[in-house]
Structure 1
Amino acid sequence: RDLFGVYFQGAYESSQKSGTANALVKFWRSVRGTMPWLPGWIEGRMPLPDLFLFVELCLRGVGQVFFQNNPLSGLLILIGLFVQSTRVATHGVIAVASGNLLAIFLRFEKGLILSGLFGYNSVLVGLALATFDAPEKHGGWYAPIPIMSVVFASFSSVLFVFMGKILVPYKSPPLTLPFNVATLVFLAASAQMARVDTGPVLVPTLPDYSSDGVDVTITARAFFAGTVRGIGQVYLANGIVPGLLIWAGIAVCSRISALAAFVGSAIGAAAALAVGVDSALVEQGMYGFNPSLTVTAMLMFYAPGPWSGVLGALAGITTVFGQQALATVLAPFGLPFMTLPFCVIALPFIILQGTTNVVIPVPLATMTIPEDHLKRVNTLKEGFGFLMGAIESTRKMRPSLVRKGPSNTQNRISSALLNVDIDDGGKDDRETSAFGCPCGQRREEEEQEGSVPDMDLFDALDEDSSGRLELHDFIACLRSSGYDADTEGLHFAAVVFSQLDLDGNGTLERCEFRAFCIVTRALRTIRHRIARFVDFVDADCNGTLDFEEIDSALDYLGEEPLSEDDHLSLARVMGMPDDADGFDDVELINFVTVAKIKALVAEHRALKD
């Protein structure tokens, strides 16, 4: 029953079901990624849920500076900011709350609010205004700055919507442009504020093109410290401990993003040293934070892969030159470049999506973490490999076997076995050995190959000790095991049984039965892989795949949608009318599963012949 029960799990086991795992593994899985379960948990378990939900979305906003939509990431980052400076961090908290409150009061898009997207520019505004106001870490409070943090953090939320609408045709968010614009507006306007005592962030100077007295030597320890500080400098924190806490916060959500942040900072530091930048600036992380953001963005907006890595490295190096150019342009005004270099360089690299097929862009609506993007791409590629192989095979069918009307699932499975050929790229040496064995192989050899449980089962089913197992005896055994009501499952098992009758004599001998057992064990994995593809493509989770969902998944991969001929071929092989809009998930899984089995059997029959 345990072995052959897979034929009766009807549909399939959803790929969303998790297997057994210990408590620590389950906890880690629950806190990584975007933690979508947390708002519901807060609403059902916490007192004052609205307050805690507001705190949760504010923490998401803190993490979103590094594209990490995770409140635990935001909390770790915020702790790092308080370690760096309680005064600056407090201004950041005031600012992120202000930006989110304005978004809520103006009823901006709820999904954006809950994802923290109205918080990340706001928190940077508060951090920047407090950092540029005074050098003290835990003192130096000045009343106008919290007020200005509220005003300009709110302004950054308005800018986020404004710039977002402009960039909609280009499928790109405004990144940290709202923060840069809002902060620069305040810093420039402060020169005209008699009641607000501020000065230039930098001493205004004209560009100096001489390179005299620049020390470009640096130790490995200082380089590593500069790389870590570069991650922290994104939040205007230049301490080692804050930098490590911020990096840990990123890693909680996504290890790929954490790696990208570190590599990006290191690339920026190395590129700056290569062109002759003062090593003291590199050690302080001043040439790491913009490239860190850029590389992280490349692996967020494009599915991780070799070419997205190359694109990220190129963008990171270019960001260093962009930073130097902007520093030169802004120096006469005494204004900082902040994260403008990241925005100026990253945006062109993001907007080029769709013009090349060597990288796969991630749609904004489906963006979570790079690990999810990579898994989704691999699953879709594998699934479409199955699907397109099945479609191609229908074009080779004899016309008389292509049905043009609806049919039951049993006939569809039988037709698939008769007519579909798709390549199998995952042969297993053990399966080859089992399929290729001669029927007269001795019991001793079977014992050496570890197949005694299968042979014991064969002996139990072979009641007359004829050395052959007939189909009706096998089906009778399944019925007696409690599967008598599942006619579809019985037929499915019968079809696979018949396909393993390699000599076509209507029975399974010992080695054929052993091959049958191997295929049956592999069936669970095969079905799971196909089911995982179906889970991703069936966007509305209604148990039916329509062609619009399939085309949307192809678009995700940067591929052309299915042609009308493909629609027709797939509808016919599934036994659907020519004008069908889609088909049942279970039928697709059964069709491709049996087709894979048939391909494997056909291959080994060829070897045997």
Structure 2
Amino acid sequence: MKTDKVYFWDPYLKGVGQIMLQSNVLTGLLFLIGILINSPVMALAALVAVTVGTLTAKLLKFDEENINSGLYGFNATLVGVALIVFFEATLLIWIAIVVLSAVSALIMNFFIQKKIPVFTFPFIILTWIALFIFHSVTPVPDAPADYLTEIVEYTPFSLMNYGLGFGEVIFQGSLLSGVIFFIAVYVSSPTAALYGLFGALFGVLVAILLKDRIEDVKMGMFSFNAVLCSIVFSGPKKINGLYVVIAVILSGITEEIMLRCDLPVLTFPFVFGTWLTLIIRDVLVKKLIPSSTTE
């Protein structure tokens, strides 16, 4: 059987693209460009992290197909960018990026072997641990304020929110970066990109119904998890729209609870909302509406 040629850069760029579930080289490259435009330091961290995560999988001889699909790179990439977002880029932080990127590959492989759809959970766990260690155990100065999203004057339904919805998935509070990220997903899957746009809008609606702080809504805090939920369940079937709505609502409720408890949100609302929706889909919907599998 003829197989597509794999270039040496494929696992690394696809690893970046898999942040939004796109095993696509061009998507990964555009993500890196979007990060670079907003923050060269974050782009460097992303490159270091995806390289370490992927090389760890190669050295430990994990499944080659999974490696070439980028499955060992996206959690590492997010860890690398997150540490630069939260902390000053000291030597200790760069060491942490290398170590945690390698560990993310180990965690990812465990869940792959168990056939558990883990999504960005390794990134979440490792970043929570890093936040605790570098805030409470071995304090590291916070990142300069210019790395963070600034609140600007616009309405929650403006174009800015769509840009931030995609941009904040990789911690980029920039409209230009967000637009590039949308294009990056679109070139891989137009359906996923358009569902992501719907998710950004619907996430805002959910936040408003939950009466959350308008500043959080303006910063895209209730859009980026919704974008990921929408991409996961995007597809041509009519039932896909229902799953997207359910996942975004569950994600919004989870995020609201976490914000009120002053917990670091990251992409946990996306992961938890998606897990619950998968359970609803597999346990309830397919039993109650058998035809949903073919519509």
- Shorter-normalised TM-score: what interval? 0.7 to 0.9
Higher mean alpha-carbon deviation, 83-92 vs 347-356, is at 347-356
Equivalent residues in 2 for 1:159-170, closer than 5 Å: 159-166=107-114, 168=115
Question: Could you say what secondary structure the match of 2:158 adopts?
Answer: helix
Task: Give the equivalent residue in structure 2 for 1:143.
Answer: 91
Question: Could you say what secondary structure the match of 1:234 adopts?
Answer: helix
Pair 1:294 & 2:242 matched: no
Pair 1:319 & 2:251 matched: yes
Task: Give the equivalent residue in structure 2 for 1:64.
Answer: 18
Richer in helix (by share): 2
Q: Displacement, 1:327?
A: 2.2
Distance 1:318 1:227 in 2: 20
Pair 1:131 & 2:105 matched: no
Pair 1:84 & 2:38 matched: yes
Kept in 2: contact 1:294–1:312 (CA 8 A): yes
The 1:143/1:258 distance shift into structure 2, 3 A limit, reads: same
Kept in 1: contact 2:85–2:143 (CA 8 A): no
Task: Give the equivalent residue in structure 2 for 1:345.
Answer: 273
Q: Displacement, 1:291?
A: 0.9
The 1:276/1:353 distance shift into structure 2, 3 A limit, reads: closer
Q: Displacement, 1:73?
A: 0.7
Task: Give the equivalent residue in structure 1 for 2:194.
Answer: 259
Distance 2:291 2:73 in 1: 33
Task: Give the equivalent residue in structure 1 for 2:68.
Answer: 114
Q: Displacement, 1:228?
A: 1.6
Distance 1:283 1:155 in 2: 34
Task: Give the equivalent residue in structure 1 for 2:212.
Answer: 277
Pair 1:153 & 2:96 matched: no
Task: Give the equivalent residue in structure 2 for 1:456.
Answer: none
Q: Displacement, 1:81?
A: 0.5
Distance 2:124 2:106 in 1: 13
Task: Give the equivalent residue in structure 2 for 1:435.
Answer: none
Distance 2:178 2:233 in 1: 21
- Please list the CA deviations of residues 366-405 of structure 1 after superposition, one character each: whole Å capped at 9, or x if unmatched: xxxxxxxxxxx79xxxxxxxxxxxxxxxxxxxxxxxxxxx
Q: Structure 2: which amino acid aligns with 1:153?
A: S
Kept in 2: contact 1:228–1:262 (CA 8 A): no
Where do 5+ consecutive residues of structure 2 fail to align?
A: 145-152
- Please list the CA deviations of residues 574-597 of structure 1 after superposition, one character each: whole Å capped at 9, or x if unmatched: xxxxxxxxxxxxxxxxxxxxxxxx
Equivalent residues in 2 for 1:479-498, closer than 5 Å: none
Q: Structure 1: which amino acid aligns with 2:215?
A: A
Task: Give the equivalent residue in structure 2 for 1:307.
Answer: 239
Task: Give the equivalent residue in structure 2 for 1:595.
Answer: none
Q: Displacement, 1:358?
A: 4.4
Kept in 2: contact 1:307–1:358 (CA 8 A): no
- Please list the CA deviations of residues 330-371 of structure 1 after superposition, one character each: whole Å capped at 9, or x if unmatched: x2xxx52100011111012124444313443xxxxxxxxxxx
- Please list the CA deviations of residues 239-263 of structure 1 after superposition, one character each: whole Å capped at 9, or x if unmatched: 0000000010000000001001111
Distance 1:56 1:144 in 2: 29
TM-score, structure 1 as length reference: 0.44
Rg (Cα) greater in structure: 1
How many residue pairs are counted as aligned between the two chains? 280
Q: Displacement, 1:193?
A: 4.1
Kept in 1: contact 2:195–2:230 (CA 8 A): yes
Distance 1:200 1:163 in 2: 32
Distance 1:111 1:317 in 2: 34
Q: Structure 2: which amino acid aligns with 1:155?
A: V
Distance 1:88 1:62 in 2: 13
Task: Give the equivalent residue in structure 1 for 2:168.
Answer: 233
Q: Structure 1: which amino acid aligns with 2:238?
A: P
Pair 1:190 & 2:134 matched: yes
Q: Displacement, 1:218?
A: 6.0
Equivalent residues in 2 for 1:242-257, closer than 5 Å: 242-257=177-192
Task: Give the equivalent residue in structure 2 for 1:409.
Answer: none
Distance 1:82 1:183 in 2: 21
Question: Could you say what secondary structure the match of 1:182 adopts?
Answer: helix
Question: Could you say what secondary structure the match of 2:160 adopts?
Answer: helix
Kept in 1: contact 2:164–2:178 (CA 8 A): yes
Q: Displacement, 1:79?
A: 0.2
Q: Displacement, 1:147?
A: 1.1
Distance 2:119 2:51 in 1: 19
Distance 2:219 2:254 in 1: 19
Distance 1:353 1:307 in 2: 10
Distance 2:227 2:164 in 1: 11
Kept in 2: contact 1:295–1:315 (CA 8 A): yes
Distance 2:236 2:248 in 1: 16
2:158 is matched with which residue: 214, 223, 227? 223
Distance 1:85 1:218 in 2: 23
Kept in 1: contact 2:53–2:101 (CA 8 A): yes
Kept in 2: contact 1:152–1:182 (CA 8 A): yes
Q: Structure 2: which amino acid aligns with 1:112?
A: N
Kept in 2: contact 1:70–1:253 (CA 8 A): yes
Distance 1:274 1:353 in 2: 24
Task: Give the equivalent residue in structure 1 for 2:55.
Answer: 101
Kept in 2: contact 1:225–1:240 (CA 8 A): yes
Kept in 2: contact 1:223–1:269 (CA 8 A): no
Distance 2:227 2:12 in 1: 23
Q: Structure 1: which amino acid aligns with 2:91?
A: A
Where do 5+ consecutive residues of structure 1 fail to align?
A: 1-35, 43-52, 135-140, 202-216, 361-376, 379-609
